[in-house]
Amino acid sequence: MLTDRKIVVVTRKTRLQKLKEKYCTLGQAKFYLEHLGESFSDYEEESIQYSNSVTKAISFLKAVGRVQQLERSVLSTYLFSPDDVVVVIGQDGLVANTLKYLDGQPVIAVNPIPSLYDGQLLPFLGDELEEVLLQTLSQSINSKSIAMAEVNTNIGQTLLAVNDLFIGPKSHTSARYLLTVDNHQEEQSSSGVIISTGLGSTGWFRSIITGASGIIEKPINYQIKNGFPWDSEFLYYSVREPFPSAITKCDKIFGKITNRSKFSMSSKMAENGVIFSDGIEQDCIEFNAGTIANISISSRVGNLIVGH
C-alpha cells in the first residue's frame, strides 16, 4: 500500500436500483417503466455504466490504501477521520451532500457518466483518478474552498448547507414567522425563505433571481444573477412569494448575510414548519411555534480538489 490514510468512496443508488427496491424485482420495474412509455434500456445502461465505474475505481484504490465504501444514505451516521481522503463517484448533488459531513478532508469528485451528468462539481473522469489521488496524497494539486451555511436553533439542533437552506412550510402553504435582520424585525407570510451559499448561487438561488428579473424593470446586479464565488464569506437570503397584509410586512425580502450580520427566524406555525438543506427534505428539522433559527456562515469549510 502507498498510504496509511483511509480512502472513503461515496456512492449512491442508481435509478434502476431504487426502482428494483420499490417493485421488488427488475421484471416488475421493467413492466412499470414500459407501461408508462419509458425505455428500460436507458435505466439499465446507466446502472451498468455507474457500477462499472465504481468497480474500476475501488479496484485501483485498494492497491493504494484502505478503502471504505459508503452509500449516500449512511453519510449522516458515519464518523470521518481527519486524515481521510474522500472519493465521490456520482452526480453534483452527491458531492454537495458529502461535503457537509466533512471538515476539511480533501474530496476528489469523479464523473462516472460524462454523457449524462453535467458535472459542475465533478472535474475528473474515472481514468484520471489514479493521477489525481497520488497528487492529492503528495499535496501537489490545487483545491478549492467551499463555504457553508449553518443554522442553529434555540432547542439545540444544527444543520449545515453546502448549497442552500430552505426554511418554511412542509407543503405548498404559507409560512408565518418573525424575521430578524440585524436590528430590524418584521412578521412575514411567505412560501419560505432560501439562504444560499456561493456554491448554491447558480442553482435554486439563480432561478429565484432570474424569475424576479423577468418581473421588475430594474436589472439585478449581474454578478449576483450569475452566482458568486464558492468561497464567499457571505450568504444571500431571498423570501419566496412574500405576502403583505395588516400584520405581515415585506420590507426585508432579499439581502446579504455576513459574519457581522444577525439573521434569525422565529416560527409562528403550529405545525408543518421545516428546515432542510441542499434539497434533502428527509433530513429536515422541525420549525414550529417557539423555534428560533439563527443562520450564519459556518466555520466548517469544504475542500474540493480541482486540479491544476
Q: Sort strands 285-286 and 175-181 into parallel, antiparallel or unpaired.
A: unpaired
Q: SS3 sequence, 228-292?
A: CCCCCCEEEEEECCCCCCCCCCCCCCEEEEECCCCEEEEECCCCCEEEEECCCHHHCEECCCCCE
CB atoms within 10 A of CB 100: 25
Residue 218 has pLDDT above 70, yes or no: no
Strand 106-111 relative to strand 292-305, pairing:
parallel
**Which of the residue ranges 100-114, 198-212, 266-280 would you say has the lowest mean pLDDT?**
198-212
pTM of the model: 0.85
H or E segment to which residue 212 belongs: helix 204-213
Contacts of 195 (CB under 8 A, 6+ apart): 149, 161, 164, 165, 167, 235, 236, 237, 257, 263, 295
Is a pLDDT exceeding 60 seen at residue 17? yes
For residue 223, what is the DSSP state?
Answer: H
Q: What is the pLDDT of residue 215?
A: 67
Q: Classify residue 270 as exposed, middle or buried by CB count within 10 Å of its CB (0-12, 13-18, 19+).
A: exposed
DSSP 199: G
Within the chain, which residue ranges are assigned CATH 3.40.50? 7-141
CATH 2.60.200.30 residue ranges of the chain are 147-298
In this predicted model, which residue has the larger pLDDT, 136 or 307? 136
Residue-level pLDDT at 191: 94
> Running DSSP on this structure, what letter comes out for residue 219?
P
pLDDT band at 288 (very low <50, low <70, confident <90, very high): very high
Fold of 147-298: Tumour Suppressor Smad4 (2.60.200)
The residues, any chain, with a CB within 8 Å of residue 25's CB and separated by 6 or more, are none
Which CATH architecture best describes the domain 7-141? 3-Layer(aba) Sandwich (3.40)
